[in-house]
Structure 1
Amino acid sequence: MSPFSILRRHRVAALLGAALIISPVVVSFAQNPGNAGLSNVVATTQTPVAGITAPNGSFAPVVATTKPAVVTVTTVMKAQPGATDDGSPFDGNSPFDQYFQQFFGDQGIPMPKTPPQQAPRQEALGSGFIVGSDGTIVTNNHVIDGATSIKVTLDDGTELPAKLVGHDAKNDLAVLKVKPLPTVKWGDSDKLMTGDQVLAIGNPFGIGTTVTAGIVSARGRDLHSGPFDDFIQIDAPINHGNSGGPLVDVKGDVVGINTAIYSPNGGSVGVGFAIPSDQAQKVVDKLMKGGDIEYGYLGVQIQPVTQDVASAIGLDHPGGALVAAVTDGSPAAKAGIETGDVITGFAGQEIKDPKDLSRAVADVSPGSKETLSVWRNGKAMQISADVGRNAEDQKTASNDEGGKPSAEQGLRVPSLGLGLTDLTPDIREQLNLADNQRGAVVERVNPDKAASAAGIEPGDVIVAVDRTPVKNARQANQAIAEAGKSGRKSVLLLVDRGDAQIFVAVPFAAG
């Protein structure tokens, strides 16, 4: 068997492993109950955490103000095709089924099985809160996703039918409408600091409206659940059924929307996550006006600028969003954005990292013309771009350099610990590469050298060195050698790996 036959198997295994590997501690949307029930309730005596005190010794005034505006959201949905007899959309036989069931749980608190003579259905439970005196309610999108009917239960037990006004899966937010009701007030999540006291209100496990207290544990958490992740981490216990309920500050203002938990067993372990109110309020306002949201689209694949990357491209400090690829025909391509550019500003907003750019572009209305601040080849410049419309089927960029490979084989780059080879027809087939793919294939990586530490892997295809395209192993070797002679601490490699294209900065000093 050739080394690339083995390599191909390892690459596939690595991809599948990355899709399935998750620590025993999993993120679970707080709506879903798993197997928890009232039978598991055990009476315990809790000891207050030292140093956590309520204003004037009690949160009662805050609860009295906010609790009447918190509601329970119950949805009915059709059973998924191929569902098992217990209403679960998984048959449990496939490891993928087991993974997704562990991660997302069932769609709500387990209900009695549907009698055979009735149409199969599923019920789900979550929470929400009233933000408009006209009966406008905010909850999570995953609470109402797929619902055929929605019911809201008020704190006093009153049940009301609810209409879905609009929903946004990317931000996991939805807006419902019932009759005029008492409301809560939006707060300013930007002012929240780690250590601030907060209350989480909702209906965990369907036992009734419940208030829990805690502090802000961290800001800016990214759970990789969507493109705009910027969660508030809290230690106030939230559980399945809390999804969509408000997180309030000591003044009773809503500073977040309880959305997810991090848990080894489906129950709360004091690691919960809420969508910041400043992010949620913007989305809710748009949903109230139009029912859906159109996101701006630029058409770039981006990654962070690390210290090594900054050194390799001549930036005096890390920051911005590094363009790893530009989608053909996209607004970015038409504006002249190039692979290797660092976007440091967009529409007058400073871009500190890729998330900043994703959110900034998404917030812009499609069709508007915006100015980008770009660092290219050691110089700052301004580029104007017409922002496009982001559709769900937008794809990332792909490399389309033409030409045929040379015959140079097995070249080494000792300072980085790489063994490079050319793209032959056999290697193209083994790695499932296009006929017009150019570059140098990484055949071997010394585990004790800099390239390995930087994340370069066997099977990677180096397509550019310091933003200069390379066609074969000899060109790559020469370009890396020249970069070393330039006096820079790192060399910037553009790598094709599977379906992605990324920049990797490899420091010379560690070679």
Structure 2
Amino acid sequence: MFKASFKSYLSGVAALLLMSQALVAKAELPDFTGLVEAASPAVVNISTTQKLPDRGVAQSQMPDLEGLPPMLREFLERGMPQQGPNAPKGRQREAQSLGSGFIISDDGYVLTNNHVVADADEILVRMPDRSELKATLIGADPRTDVALLKIDGKNLPTVKIGNSEALKVGEWVLAIGSPFGFDHSATSGIVSAKGRSLPNESYVPFIQTDVAINPGNSGGPLFNLKGEVVGINSQIFTRSGGFMGLSFAIPIDVAMDVANQLKTDGKVSRGWLGVVIQEVNKDLAESFGLDKPAGALVAQVLDNGPAAAGGLKVGDVILSLNGQPIVMSADLPHLVGAMKSGSKVKLEVAREGQRKTLELTVGALPAEGEEMSMGGAEEGVERSSNRLGVKVVELTAEQKKSLDLQGGVVIREVLDGPAALIGLRPGDVITHLNNQSIDSAKTFTEVAQQLPKNRSVSMRVLRQGRASFITFKLSE
């Protein structure tokens, strides 16, 4: 009898434990129903129309429909552009796109992505009640992929704006948008990372999530559990064209700053140092005497820019800005771009094995297409060859002036050897070798002869006006 009672007791305890675990698990999962109900009225669908001239289709590009069943052939012919003298004249094709957006003010200001409305001749905003309103483009910023629209209205539903800086990795988030045109689709996930940098996106520290985002979600809001917008869904990483668990959102702090500037000034201004930087990898860190790969390596200082005026030099590694560490080189554009022109900044740099602090005045980022650039080098007279397997020539006075250089040598010929293995080409200009400035072919040869074996050595190379540091090791 005792055994039966004890077994019954154990069964009861086990049942209670299972029930409590189920309740805890259920309690930990968020309930999004209230959030979706409250936020959805301010989320809109955006469609655009772009009128394109009808170029027609060349006869040689027309598919061969001979031999197909009559009904299938008739169907395909209806969908093909008309050719020949009976084709309508002056027709225009219409390119359409779909995206999402959200209302940020009750008088009708709407945020979305620039790529959703770029080059559009007409922008339509479809409200939750299915009514459609024409939108005016107030302004757009391709560098952050943010656009500000305006629709006519009063007392419109709006979203609550949150603080993306306070967002934490692992936090639950929810997206509402129109993937593939399905209005007000809600998907949830967590914040996977913050401050992500993407290729060709220097001024946005993206929020990475695993929220299901697909074409049509672009421009839609990303909410935290408080129902506040913390980001604008902008990009996905995909190999198939669909969701793969890597989604990226523009932080709302960045987007609202852009929107306010577009609304007030019609354009966006950003801070600028006037440098070309690159990542510090393990080999570069070793060659510059750093304990670990970190910081932003200055590969080029643009003439008359803020960095040049503040004493920043090629080969400096920027370790922090106003006390904030620069872990990845991509951290620097995010921080500088958020500053106003005229702001004072303190940079901690590593230079020739020592730490220095420089104070610079931030400039204004030039408009696209107006950035300062440097020209290419021309051939000169051969003066030197060396153990790297290159023949170099000294730069002429004209070349130095066009490149804004005090010294350097240009490669005339690449022979078999280390230079060929690391990808050097004729026309490349070498300005630094093993952390030493190269002012002549003679200096280059002397430095090359003294290069250490089996240790990372850095070399600064200009190719078509773009500078970068590369590393290599000599085995003999």
Task: Report the TM-score, using the length of structure 2 for normalisation.
Answer: 0.75
CA deviations over 1:202-228 (Å, ceiling 9, x no partner): 112223221122233444433314222
Question: Once the two structures are aligned, what percentage of the paired residues are identical?
Answer: 37
Which range is displaced more, 344-353 or 379-388? 344-353
Give secondary structure in 1 for the equivalent of 2:299.
strand
Give secondary structure in 1 for the equivalent of 2:308.
helix
Matched, 1:408 2:381: no
Give secondary structure in 2 for the equivalent of 1:484.
coil
> 1:495 Cα shift?
1.5
Q: How does 1:308-319 map to 2 (within 5 A)?
A: 308-319=283-294
The 2-side partners of 1:504 and 1:157 are apart by: 57
- The answer for the alignment partner of 1:422 in structure 2 is 392
Give secondary structure in 1 for the equivalent of 2:383.
coil
**Could you say if the C-alpha distance between residues 445 and 273 of structure 1 is closer, same or farther in structure 2, counting changes exceeding 3 Å?**
farther
Asked if the contact 1:78–1:121 (Cα under 8 Å) also holds between the matched residues in 2, the reply is yes
Task: Report the TM-score, using the length of structure 1 for normalisation.
Answer: 0.70
- The answer for the alignment partner of 2:199 in structure 1 is 224
> 1:171 Cα shift?
0.1
Q: How does 1:318-467 map to 2 (within 5 A)?
A: 318-346=293-321, 349-377=324-352, 378-385=354-361, 387-395=363-371, 397-398=373-374, 405-409=381-385, 411-412=386-387, 418-423=388-393, 438-440=409-411, 443-444=414-415, 452=421, 455-459=422-426, 460-467=428-435
Give secondary structure in 1 for the equivalent of 2:384.
coil
CA deviations over 1:336-366 (Å, ceiling 9, x no partner): 3221122234456443333222122222223
CA deviations over 1:355-414 (Å, ceiling 9, x no partner): 2221222222234454433332324132333514422124455378999555333x22xx
Asked if the contact 2:281–2:294 (Cα under 8 Å) also holds between the matched residues in 1, the reply is yes
Matched, 1:198 2:168: no
Matched, 1:211 2:186: yes
Asked if the contact 1:248–1:256 (Cα under 8 Å) also holds between the matched residues in 2, the reply is yes
- The answer for the alignment partner of 1:141 in structure 2 is 114
- The answer for the alignment partner of 1:242 in structure 2 is 217
Asked if the contact 1:320–1:353 (Cα under 8 Å) also holds between the matched residues in 2, the reply is yes
CA deviations over 1:311-335 (Å, ceiling 9, x no partner): 3223334332211111222232233
The 2-side partners of 1:92 and 1:336 are apart by: 61
The AA in structure 1 aligned to 2:230 is V
> 1:293 Cα shift?
0.5
CA deviations over 1:14-61 (Å, ceiling 9, x no partner): xxxxxxxxxxxxxxxxxxxxxxxxxxxxxxxxxxxxx99786664211
The AA in structure 1 aligned to 2:458 is L
- The answer for the alignment partner of 2:147 in structure 1 is 174
Give secondary structure in 1 for the equivalent of 2:35.
helix
User: Which structure has the larger Rg?
Assistant: 2
> Which runs of 5 or more residues in structure 2 are unaligned?
1-23, 62-78, 83-87, 396-402
The 1-side partners of 2:162 and 2:31 are apart by: 20
**Could you say if the C-alpha distance between residues 406 and 434 of structure 1 is closer, same or farther in structure 2, counting changes exceeding 3 Å?**
farther
**Could you say if the C-alpha distance between residues 92 and 382 of structure 1 is closer, same or farther in structure 2, counting changes exceeding 3 Å?**
farther
The 1-side partners of 2:36 and 2:260 are apart by: 25
The 2-side partners of 1:92 and 1:204 are apart by: 36
Q: Specify which structure has the bigger relative contact order, considering alpha-carbon pairs within 8 angstroms and separated by 6 or more residues.
A: 1
Asked if the contact 1:422–1:441 (Cα under 8 Å) also holds between the matched residues in 2, the reply is yes
CA deviations over 1:266-293 (Å, ceiling 9, x no partner): 2333332222223323322322332210
**Residue 165 of structure 1, aligned match among 138, 145, 160:** 138
> Which runs of 5 or more residues in structure 1 are unaligned?
1-50, 94-110, 413-417, 426-432
The AA in structure 2 aligned to 1:129 is F
Matched positions, count: 418
The 2-side partners of 1:134 and 1:408 are apart by: 71
Which range is displaced more, 386-395 or 287-296? 386-395
- The answer for the alignment partner of 1:121 in structure 2 is 94
Asked if the contact 1:320–1:354 (Cα under 8 Å) also holds between the matched residues in 2, the reply is yes
Q: Please, what is the CA RMSD of the aligned residues?
A: 3.9
